Structure formats: structure tokens, C-alpha cells
Homo-oligomer: A and B are copies of this chain.
Amino acid sequence: MKILPLKGTCDYLPREVALRDYLQGTILSVYRAAGYERISTPAIEDIENIDKSEGGDNLNLIFKILKRGEKLEEALSDGSALCDMGLRYDLTLPLSRYYANNRQNLLTPAKCIQTDRVWRAERPQKGRLREFVQCDIDILGSASPTCEVDLIVTTAKALRAVGMEDFTVHINDRGLLTGLLAALGVPAEATDGVCITLDKLDKIGIDGVRRELGERLSDEGVIEKLCALMADGPVTLDAAAAYLADKAPAENLRWIMDTVAAVTDGGVPLVFDLTLIRGQGYYTGPVFEVRSREFRGAIAGGGRYDRLIGKFLGENVPAVGFSIGFERICAILRDRGFTPPTRRRRVALLYYPDQMVVAARAAEELRETCDVSLIEKTGKVGKLIGRIEAYGFDAFAEVTAEGITVKELGQ
């Protein structure tokens, strides 16, 4: 049998889990203090729900679960779908279904926390996981831009709480971007593709963008207008707004940016970024992303998805969320050599089997203040103590004629 975990999945050692638990706990306490509540959804979802979710490229990355028993036999003989379920690729789709199912038991707007695993069938490669954790907060049932402010301020606070300082929040609006593209002459049916290309500006440069636009658009004039807009360096919100007949999305973004700045005394660096798109097809308004100089790519991302819950309910419910890429935070802190503050003193209590009753009773008393591991003496005791010290115990104790003796380690 194979001893390695599946490619793109991880075994976490005790000290890695301690770091992960500490980071997740810290993020959770910031979220909870801000009035968000933890909810939980299943890891598996109906495959139809996933297929219809407008998850963009992620829909190509679904782990699908084979039908079972008679239904599998039927599918194999009649050529119908082999799968009936899939592993969730994000926490937003299950949350939308959850809200549709449970809204009568939630306060509206609902402020939800999810910190949980998701799965994507990425091509295995270094740093790209197929199973990973996301830490999401969402506000469901309100169209007010106060939600965006609340999410941005709270997410920034959570990132600070885990030691992220050097980050910038990029913000854009889907409606603003599509309005601008229409004003520049991009046909409606080419909008999505053009957005994908513009989003690659920092990866492929303006020449790469021009080349790709050439494959998507026939009108050279439109391509040149797009490239002129992008080539001049970052487009300001005012410059973008100048193209728009409907100023509402730009004014909304301005209000969000100004309010975040006022609430935090400018403590959250926030930039308008016309090339920010985010891959998911379900976003409808403001989208945001946190970038850090310590990591290539985003460490958090989110946006407004006012039409996703409507796919379940038949009536639209506005919603917006912000997700921290937990694995990226872990990677940054691991690279820094960060170790979480120790929780309690760790003591190894060594004993011979015939001393177990005395040892176990003594351990139970010490557990008022310490974590105490009962460790049977086998082999050479000196070597055992060496292994215990190397493993990071703070002290070891032994059963002696005088009772329990405790000796410090690692001093």
C-alpha cells in the first residue's frame, strides 16, 4: 500500500497542526468579535448544484463521486451520468444553498463564518494543493455597501492578527468593468473573454494582452482603445467613471473606499484596480483581493454575488463574501519560522509498567496545569530522555522511591 498522501494533499505533523489551529483560532476570534457566526455545510454537494454554479474555471476541477449500487449499473448500461455528487470547490456555493435552506432560522442579514476544506482537481505541482482550507466571512440578505466595508475591515483585521502587515486590498466592480467595455465598443458576448485577458496584464504584459485580444475581437480600433487604456499605468476610478453612462457602480466603490479609510484612519491600503476580475462567474458587483509582497498571487479574495442564491430560491437575495486563502497564510508564517505561543507546559512522565497506577494518578494531578504524557520506560532510559527532549517537551518526570521527581529540559 502507498505511504505518501495523494498528490496535492498533505499530512500535517503535530507542530504544523499546532500552527494551523493557532492561525485558524486567531482568525476565528476576530471574525466572532465582529459579530459573525460559524456555520457548517457538507463537503459533498449534489453534482447538479455544482455544475450550475457559475464557478468559472473551477468547474473543470471538480472531484466527482461515482454512483453506487443499482444506480451505477444503470448508468453504465444506459450511458447516463456516472456521478451524482461532487466535492465542493469553494465555500460560497454550499453557503448559498445553505442560506436558501435555512434562512427562516437565521437573522437577515446573516453574517456567517466558514473555515473548512475545499477540493480542486488541479494538476499536481509545487504549492498547488488539491485539498485546502479557506476562511470565509459572508453577509447574506443585504445589498448595502456597508457590507463590503464590514467585510474588508474585518478581513484586514484578521490578517493583521495573524501577523500579515504588508498587504494591499485591490477593489473593482464587475458592473463598472462591463459598462466600460461596452462604452469602448466590446460586444456583449466577448465581455467575459476580454475580462479574462485584461486580468492577465501583470502576468503577460501589454503585448501579451494585445495578442490575446486579437484572438477575441475583430475590431482593431476597439483593441487599440483597450490597450491605450491599460498601457498608461493604473486607471483611476475617476478616469474609468468618465466612460460610464451609469455612474452608480463607481460612486458605490468610492463610498466603500472612503468609508473603509474613515473607519480605519487609513489603516487599510485600498486601491482601485480596473484589471481585477476574480475568476468566479457568479460575481455581480464589487470584487476584492488582498495582495502581499510575501506571496505571489492573492492571499484573500471575494466579492458580491447577488444572483447565486436566486438560483436556489427563484428570487434573488443579495450577498457578499471575503475568503482568506488559509494555506497561503500558513506558508508565509512557516517561511518566517513562526511558532505559535505555547499553550501549556508539556511534561513526559516516565514509568515502568508496574508503576502505572502511581504514575497515572500523579499525571492526573499535574494535568491541572500541564499537558502530561505517560510514557512507559523501554530500552535505555537515557536515550528515551534524549528523544523526549529533542521532541520538545518542557520537562520530564519519573516515579522514584521519593515520589514523583520533575526535571526541566532544554535549558
Contacts and interface: CB of A to CB of B under 8 A. Distances in A.
A63 B85 contact: yes
A42 B356 contact: no
Given A42-B6, A64-B65, A131-B44, A371 B35 contact: yes
A149 B16 CA distance: 28
B32 A14 contact: no
A18 interface: yes
B374 A44 contact: no
B373 A6 contact: no
A1 interface: yes
A351 B4 CA distance: 54
A42 B10 contact: yes
A66 B68 contact: no
Interface string A144-169: 11100110010000000000000000
B35 A119 contact: no
Contacts of A371: 32-35
A210 interface: no
A316 interface: no
Contact of A35 (B32, B109, B150, B348): B348
A119 B5 CA distance: 18
A240 interface: no
Contacts of A142: 376, 378
A128 interface: no
Contacts of A17: 37-40
Contacts of A247: none
Nearest to A17: B38
A378 B139 CA distance: 15
A313 B3 CA distance: 8
Contacts of A102: 11, 13
A6 B356 contact: no
Contact of A117 (B3, B43, B387): B43
Given A37-B17, A66-B83, A387-B107, A42 B5 contact: yes
Cβ-closest 7 pairs across A and B: A35-B373, A9-B42, A14-B37, A12-B40, A263-B360, A3-B100, A33-B367
